[in-house]
Amino acid sequence: MSTRRRKQQNKKSVGAPTAPKVRKTDVEELTSIAGPSADGGSGEKQDLGQNSKLSKLKSKLIKADVEETDADINSEDTSSPYFSKVRSPKEHDDSSAEDLGDATQPKRLSRAFYEQSCEDLGKALLGQVLVRIHKGKRLSGRIVETESYLGLRDKAAHSYKGKTDRNAAMFMDPGTAYVYNIYGIYCCMNISSKGEGEAVLLRSLEPVEGKNVMSAFRMTNRKKGSPCRPMKDHELCNGPSKLTQALKIDKASVNQVNLLSHDAIWLEEGEKVPVAKMVVSKRININYAEEWKDKPLRFYELGNRCVSVRDKEAEKLMKTVN
């Protein structure tokens, strides 16, 4: 064999290997039928057989993609507190506009919020929103004044001498409503906190929703001989018994209610009152409580017209310190 012939033969033997044959996948088959566009870029329509095959392959690929995504979601660690918030593409497709709207609603206060000391809860409640549903109508008000009652050690607390049928709600889980009657016809609302027999009295609200309804409820409960002039907004809920009248809160329907889960009354997150605008003063009308009558356990928002009673000395001291 000549030298020239041997070189040509060796050159063929060391050439690039032939690529192995690959079975045509669904994706490749779809591309071969549809091309860059449904009409192959030529502007001419495909025949009916091709269109039918194209449609079936597209459906098959979409189904496979969704199943793969669902599998990824289902494989997540379900112990994560965020797991319940994850949705698959199917669930997103099935979501209604109403469901999406719910996500923008104010958040109901959690159990952790109420599980704090009574004094801290009294402060934290300022700025939060009390919501009451009455005959399908939403009434609400922003809390602007509170008083803390420290249970078995506090001579001003209803629970000072222990648990009774009347004050049982004060010994229940944090976030339980304690409603009691005063003067035979009015009532006051408290919220239990962490600590045995401890609860926070709601003293005043700034009306937010349903002001006309609140006004009607207040007018109905006016004392005989009271002026019949329309009430101003800041007069609707500027006292513990006034706010319960305005929101139609009574002992029969609200006492011992769990505010975390009840569907007719609860609290929602509002705008927290900063310490610089929080007045700390002694409580009102508890002269019987001996040394406890002057304890600084009342809290209210400085400058808010809906507060029941201002403590000018406390405000003056507060401004001096700041």
Residue 43 maps to a domain: no
Mean of all residue pLDDT scores within the chain: 77
What confidence tier does 100 reach under pLDDT thresholds 50, 70, 90? very low
For residue 295, pLDDT beyond 50 = yes
pLDDT digit string (tens) for 192-238? 999 999 999 999 999 999 999 999 999 987 766 666 678 899 999 99
pLDDT at residue number 188: 98
Q: In the structure encoding, which two tokens stand for residue 310, read together?
A: 């201002």
For residue 101, pLDDT beyond 90 = no
The parent domain of residue 217 ranges over 114-321
Residue 157 maps to a domain: yes
pLDDT digit string (tens) for 145-195? 999 999 999 999 999 999 999 999 999 999 999 999 998 889 999 999 999
What's the CA dihedral at 236, 242, 245, 248 to 10 degrees? 80
pLDDT at residue number 141: 98
pLDDT at residue number 246: 97
Residue 40 maps to a domain: no
pLDDT at residue number 6: 55
Which residue, among 290, 275, 322, has the nearest Cα to 127 in the 3D structure? 275
State the total domains in the chain: 1
pLDDT digit string (tens) for 31-43? 333 333 333 333 3
pLDDT at residue number 319: 77
Residue 292 maps to a domain: yes
Residue 87 maps to a domain: no
Residue 133 maps to a domain: yes
Residue 143 maps to a domain: yes
For residue 268, pLDDT beyond 50 = yes
pLDDT digit string (tens) for 107-126? 999 999 999 999 999 999 99
pLDDT at residue number 87: 31
pTM over 0.85: no
Give the domain CATH number at 120.
3.10.300.10
pLDDT at residue number 177: 98
pLDDT at residue number 118: 98
For residue 298, pLDDT beyond 80 = yes
Residue 83 maps to a domain: no
